[in-house]
Amino acid sequence: MSEPFIPFVKPEIDEETIAGVADVLRSGWITTGPQNQKFEAALSEFVGGRPVRTFNSGTATLEIGLRIAGVGPGDEVITTPLSWVATSNVVYEVGATPVFADIDPRTRNIDLDRVEASITARTKALIPVFLSGLPIDMDRLYAIASKYRLRVVEDAAQAFGSSWRGKRIGAFGDLVSFSFHPNKNLTSIEGGALVLNNEEEARLAEKYRLQGVTRSGFDGMEVDVLGGKYNLTDVAARVGLGQMPHLERFTARRRALAQRYFDSLRDGAAVRLGVELPVADFENCNWHMFQILLPLDRLTITRGEFMAELKERGIGSGVHYPPIHLFKLYRERGFGPGMFPHAERVGASTLTLPLFTQLSDADVDRVAAAVNEICERRAK
């Protein structure tokens, strides 16, 4: 292959950030400290002044979000079966039980009708996921939460920079969890942030983040909650801070690339043969990923073989995600095939195409041409 390889994702880190990281390393203070304070302040400003606390992952923020919401043994938490497995693993981590509600096959996000139908006397909280950065109907979500007095921990891991009717995700609602994993729209290498409702919750988040410790004066220390070790290093926080000024450009670039995918796929062979494109939302969605659904019953190859053919053409791709309820851990807890047919169909046929800020228009055209060509050559 003479053309350069196109990965499906790649973070963009500028020289100012790299120099800033070197300064942190030389400063003598490399773990949680002044860079985290600055990062938290920048994040708080981004979400309209709500309190924000940083953590070392978007999994930690979800788990601590559930703890702050008072979720524990005996409680049920309703979430989607089509997400990164962290979304529901954290429910088990806090001793509660995940209850899945199937997705809307059009948006691929949790179906709020099914959420409402799944509420029981034990339901304590909802974890909606905004897959690929596409929000759900946030007005309806919070109407349901308030009607049934439920807490919400938004798994907005993929939705940093997304909005709902002109309001940023994170700037409203209950607890909101972001991830800054390298694949996400803004990265701190690893990391996450939890948006909280008030200073009391923020102090509780700080305790859960570091062994339940509260310090006072020069030598005072108390522990009154069982906390863990989830703090973010200043090296990581400096990377996140360096990304913040670029977020608007990142999001705009991703939207433009997604638009180009639509333009180059919409009338092509792949769509004619049954490839399904995502919802074309250029208002709310931050285009964290671009996923097509393959018409596997109309192709002579499997998804894995499709990915191998893309790779031969120098193109990386991914799968986000296999349905959670079909993993062994979940099957052993009573879930199984046939329970959430929409999530199963989407999970079995979804394919993530390359989308990142430094992807060129020509790269998108190359990927779209390859998808069209493979579909045509491998049609039944």
Ligand X SMILES: *Cc1c(COP(=O)(O)O)cnc(C)c1O
| Residue whose pair of structure tokens reads 């099957």 in the numeric block | 331
Binding residue for ligand X (CB under 6 A) from 17, 32, 54, 59? 59
| Residue whose pair of structure tokens reads 């999994």 in the numeric block | 59
Binding residue for ligand X (CB under 6 A) from 17, 179, 291, 372? 179
Stretch that binds ligand X, among 51-59, 306-314, 347-355, 364-372 (CB under 6 A): 51-59
Amino acid at 237: A
Assess whether the previous peptide bond of 321 is cis (omega < 30° from 0): yes
CB 245, CB 186: distance < 8 Å: no
C-alpha to C-alpha distance for 313 and 5, rounded to whole angstroms: 8
Q: How far is CA 161 from the centre of its chain?
A: 11
Dihedral pair phi/psi, residue 160, rounded to 5°: -70, 120
The answer for residues whose C-beta is within 8 angstroms of residue 4's C-beta and 6 or more apart is 314
Binding residue for ligand X (CB under 6 A) from 39, 84, 100, 335? 84
Amino acid at 356: F
107 binds ligand X (CB under 6 A): no
β-pairing, 97-100 vs 76-79, is parallel
Stretch that binds ligand X, among 33-41, 67-75, 83-91, 308-316 (CB under 6 A): 83-91
- Residue number, 86 or 265, with CB nearest to ligand X: 86
**Nearest distance from residue 178's CB to ligand X, in Å?**
9
CA dihedral 18, 24, 26, 31 (to 10 degrees): -130
C-alpha to C-alpha distance for 312 and 317, rounded to whole angstroms: 12
181 binds ligand X (CB under 6 A): yes
Number of residues that bind ligand X (CB under 6 A): 14
- Residue number, 57 or 350, with CB nearest to ligand X: 57
Name the catalytic one among 38, 147, 184, 311.
184
**Nearest distance from residue 79's CB to ligand X, in Å?**
10
Stretch that binds ligand X, among 29-37, 53-61, 68-76, 218-226 (CB under 6 A): 53-61
Q: Can 184 be counted among the known catalytic residues?
A: yes
CB 153, CB 127: distance < 8 Å: yes
- Residue number, 39 or 372, with CB nearest to ligand X: 39
Binding residue for ligand X (CB under 6 A) from 96, 125, 129, 364? 129
Residues 140-169 binding ligand X (CB under 6 A) are 155, 157-158
Tell me which residues are annotated as active site: 184
Residues that bind ligand X (CB under 6 A): 57-59, 83-84, 86-87, 129, 155, 157-158, 179, 181, 192
